[in-house]
Amino acid sequence: MLNKLLRLREVVCVDRRKLCSNRISLVILVWAWMFLGSILTALSIAYVKGVPATFSEIIDMFNGEPYLASYVEVVAVGGLPLALTILCRDGFKVYGLTKAGLLKSVAASIPLAIAVLLPRVLYGGLNISSFNLRFPYNVWYALLGFSAYGPLEVFFTIWLIVNTDIIFHGLEKVFSPGLLITVLIFGLSHVFLSPQAGIVNAIHVAAEWLISGLIFKYTKNSIGLMIAWTLINGQVAYLVTGCLT
């Protein structure tokens, strides 16, 4: 019995090494899952809620209960790169989660946050709309939205930049192939994943992430970006204030 378990362990370890060594397949998998996973998660939520599985009905569901979209963000966006990082034992340092370069990362990210937030506050204001959630659901969905659209979304993008750069041997370059490819696809994806926001939002996201990606590539630290992105991502403020008011 012990020998069988040891052989099974060896097979699993070999398969894990094969999977993790093929970074092209992993990057394609993460991008594909972002689209497919979003659809499947949305359909699953609709099924649980008893909502008809039609595009218009599902959109109405998320418009009526926008905090439910956080599940889609966790499952289809940030969850898989996080799981692959743990499975492949990459170490979080390669994705900028380290003390090294922390001060530079924060110092470089603060001006980005100010540049985005200041015009928004001065000219757009903050639209606070309560979702009328009771405790503990209000706290749960506030934390879920904060994590999903803040640090986890940053990790998703950084993971793709790093692993695409591994494919194209661009880890040491600041203006790298991984950065450009990831920013372009991530920006365009918002046209499909957030159709109500339109192409202008996609361009804004791409521009913000081009600057954010350059900060990460220069400082090799992503903590400052996680703080800045959590502050400037309007979805975070919208969900947190809506859940807690």
Mean pLDDT, the chain cut into blocks of 10 residues (245 residues total): 48 70 95 95 96 93 95 96 95 94 94 87 75 94 96 96 95 93 88 68 84 94 95 91 93
pLDDT of residue 15: 74
CA distances from 63 to 67, 76, 158, 196, 233 (A): 9, 19, 29, 11, 18
Give the model's pLDDT for residue 86: 95
In this prediction, residue 6 carries a pLDDT of 45
CA atoms within 13 A on the CB side of 31: 19
Residue 43, pLDDT score = 97
Q: What share of the chain is helix, strand, coil (3-state, %, to 5)?
A: 80, 0, 20
CB 206 within 8 Å of CB 183: yes
Burial class from Cβ neighbours inside 10 Å (0-12, 13-18, 19+) for residue 228 reads: buried
pLDDT on residue 195:
62
**Cα 133 from Cα 101, distance rounded (Å):** 40
Closest listed residue to residue 192, CA positions, set 60, 55, 26, 68: 55
List the one residue out of 34, 29, 43 whose CA is nearest residue 77: 34
Task: At 79, give phi and psi (nearest 5°).
Answer: -65, -45
Token couple for 49: 């809620």
* Predicted local distance difference test score (pLDDT) of residue 143: 97
pTM exceeds 0.75: yes
